[in-house]
Amino acid sequence: MSTHYDICIQGSGIVARTLALLLAKERFRVALMGSPKPESASDVRAYALNAASKNLLESLRVWPEAAHATPVLGMQVHGDTSGKVNFSAAEHSSEALAWIVDVPALEAQMLQAVKYQPLITVVEQAASAHLQESSTEIRRDLTVICEGKNSVTREELGVEFDVTPYHQHAIAARLTGTLPHGNQALQWFKNGEILAFLPLSEPNQTYPGNSVALVWSVAEERVKELMALSNEAFAAEVSVNSEHALGAMTLYSERAVWPLQLARADKWVGKHPILGSWALAGDAAHTVHPLSGQGLNLGLADVAELAQVLAAVKGKEYWRSVSDLKLLRRYERARKLDAFALGTVTDGLQQLFARSESPLQALRNWGMQGFERSGGLKQWVTKRAMGL
């Protein structure tokens, strides 16, 4: 006999697990179709999460301890000539601009929380599972697809996913410098590449305040070249390209590579003859270039909104079901524009710095200086990125 759930969530990432915890808090019975194990205990990435994401994860008691969530007090963005923009938490009377969160530490917290939430049933399912298999075994009123950018179910539903590849890959790794980072994030736009240092407080390193998570977005051909270098040669290349801001760098992790793309689903909600009502969230609905460090922040904002919209059926809209398309469209309206706007802004920045013509180079660096002096505009952009 098959069991009935209010909501079935497909996916094994942070977005899927956050949604499961949020819905269980609203007393929904949830089936979480995914892997019961961490995604990867050795993910070298660290995410820049904003205040809105931090508040959300804290409310679910899954925010990692201080050693794994480093506050960013300032950020310097360097253009390819004289352009420079400084951001500071103090200017906004804020504790931090963002927090750099260790991915395996956050995933471990989420797994524990899901395990001890009695309203969540984890149903082990391979990422390659098909719509037919998943929908016959488990009865549900609504399916939320949080399968990431390569979602199979989204494809089977026939949702158009408009993908623009960047012909760029991100190399992620962890390094330590001979100088402390002082809780500053650093970013360089140079020769069409984007190199970022996110400050970490690695307790296991000799100088915990000197460690950074590197995200280096480079052209496809250059990836091969950089990945073929020895650890020492790679670290030396990072030192040069970061203008020795943290002195000489040493690599202390594996290097991992991600292909980059801008992508958007045309529909976020709908009804399917086999699956019934469905909704997309997180990278299954949108992916953005990591230069803004906003992909997961967007996904978490999606599920916070979706959980809030669905909670209406437990209160003032008790006559509706979670499968009600009117309700689901409310979620789509609330989130689609935000994701679209952020994707467009980060794409614009990536394109602007990808070109080498000298008039453009002068214009973008002049633009950065203008932005630095713009006062209100800079304040507004910073507050949005901070999730305030």
Ligand X SMILES: Cc1cc2nc3c(=O)[nH]c(=O)nc-3n(C[C@H](O)[C@H](O)[C@H](O)COP(=O)(O)OP(=O)(O)OC[C@H]3O[C@@H](n4cnc5c(N)ncnc54)[C@H](O)[C@@H]3O)c2cc1C
Which residues of this protein are in contact with ligand X, per CB under 6 A?
Answer: 10-16, 33-34, 39, 45, 47-48, 125, 127, 129, 146-148, 151-153, 170, 172, 215, 258, 282-283, 290, 293-297, 299
Q: How far is the CB of 47 from ligand X (least distance, A)?
A: 4
Q: How far is the CB of 355 from ligand X (least distance, A)?
A: 23
Q: How far is the CB of 292 from ligand X (least distance, A)?
A: 8
CB 122 within 8 A of CB 34: yes
Q: How far is the CB of 5 from ligand X (least distance, A)?
A: 15
Q: How far is the CB of 147 from ligand X (least distance, A)?
A: 3
For ligand X, which is the closer residue by CB, 47 or 313? Answer: 47
For ligand X, which is the closer residue by CB, 85 or 98? Answer: 98
For ligand X, which is the closer residue by CB, 38 or 208? Answer: 38
Q: How far is the CB of 60 from ligand X (least distance, A)?
A: 15
For ligand X, which is the closer residue by CB, 196 or 310? Answer: 196
For ligand X, which is the closer residue by CB, 147 or 305? Answer: 147
Measured CA distances, 268 to 4, 10, 30, 158 (Å): 24, 15, 20, 12
Residue for token digits 């390569």?
150
For ligand X, which is the closer residue by CB, 26 or 43? Answer: 43
Q: How far is the CB of 369 from ligand X (least distance, A)?
A: 26
For ligand X, which is the closer residue by CB, 146 or 212? Answer: 146
